[in-house]
Structure 1
């Protein structure tokens, strides 16, 4: 796995941009207090502003429900934003697909050769139910991808340093994943990334094509991020997205 830092990204307003040529991916921050909440008019305005900022035809997202459901999007799928799920896949040009997070894990998948992308929201339920592995399998079934060319990016989320879960949930993860306890946990503090990496590797993605932006939404100090667990009452949402030009 390749650990990325802020220095590896282009900073544009409150986005961290990573360019792969035809494919671009972006992780929003909370530097300008801009929240992307699809349930508020302010959030919708901010989502729509991405179209102008990045010269795109549309910005596509789902009604997220902490599931393992993945959808393939094309321009004929007119009601996609009302679908319930947590993973989007597309090969459409000039359309961003993205996910909302505020401690959960955003994952971007990009195959530059086949021009296929995916955006995934993985909370503990999605992580436990292997939503990333299921999305990779769905991409493999629907598109002519090459595992050696496919890249996976793990964005800012609440990390092992800060994410404590119940003893019952700890036992469930250990039983399901078979990952060594001291690798997966520190006491009851869970590494969702370790579970996700396990699924990515089991699918067959090359180790040097797995990237992680090492920022914790809960304790990061240098870059402002939204965190559900750190907030009191109201909280903002980050938006992670990708598109093909």
Structure 2
């Protein structure tokens, strides 16, 4: 796994961007307090503004429910955005697909060979139920993606330094994942990223094709981010997305 140096990221307005040959991966921040909460008018306006900012035709997302439901987007964004799920796969050009987060893990998958991208919202439930692994399997099933061509980008989320869970949930994760306790936990502080890495490695994803931005939504001070826990339940949302040029 490679850590992305934040200083090497392109910046545009309040976005951090990883530029690829055919695909751009974009992480929003809270620099200007611009939230992408689909449940209020301001958030919807900000989502719509992405069409102009990034010169795309559509912005596609889901009614996120902390599930392991993965959907393929082919057309009709208006109907699609009311589906209940937490991962989107597509091969459409000039269409943003994204995931809303405010502590959960945003994951973007890219297969530039077949021209396939995925955007994933992986909270503890999605992480526990291997939603990233299921999204990769969907890419293989629907578009013929090959494992060796997949690149994975893990965005800002609440990291092990700050993510304490209950003893019951700790035992469930240890029992399910079989990951060494000293890797997965620090006390009762869970590393969701370590769980996701375990799923990626089980599929033989190349270590050099896994990238992470080492930013914690809860304790990061240099770059402002939204954190549900830190704000005691206010409604700022980050939006992590990808689009094919």
Same fold (TM over 0.5): yes
Counterparts of residues 55-94 of structure 1 (less than 5 Å): 55-76=55-76, 78-94=78-94
Counterparts of residues 2-21 of structure 1 (less than 5 Å): 2-21=2-21
Whether the 8 Å CA contact 1:147–1:205 is kept in 2: the answer is yes
Who is 1:169 aligned against?
169
Counterparts of residues 1-245 of structure 1 (less than 5 Å): 1-76=1-76, 78-245=78-245
Residue 211 of structure 1 and its aligned partner are, at CA, apart by 0.3
Distance 2:97 2:81 in 1: 10
Flag structure 2 segments of 5+ consecutive residues without an equivalent.
none
Whether the 8 Å CA contact 2:56–2:95 is kept in 1: the answer is yes
Residue 76 of structure 1 and its aligned partner are, at CA, apart by 4.5
Whether the 8 Å CA contact 1:227–1:235 is kept in 2: the answer is no
Distance 2:148 2:236 in 1: 36
The CA deviation string for residues 113-139 of structure 1, in whole angstroms up to 9 with x for no partner, is 111000000000000000001111111
Whether the 8 Å CA contact 1:117–1:243 is kept in 2: the answer is yes
Flag structure 1 segments of 5+ consecutive residues without an equivalent.
none
Residue 105 of structure 1 and its aligned partner are, at CA, apart by 0.1
74-83 or 123-132: bigger deviation: 74-83
Equivalent position SS for 2:81: helix
Aligned length: 245
CA-based RMSD of the aligned residues comes to 0.9
Distance 2:36 2:107 in 1: 17
Residue 22 of structure 1 and its aligned partner are, at CA, apart by 1.1
Whether the 8 Å CA contact 2:90–2:118 is kept in 1: the answer is yes
* Runs of at least 4 residues off by over 4 Å: none
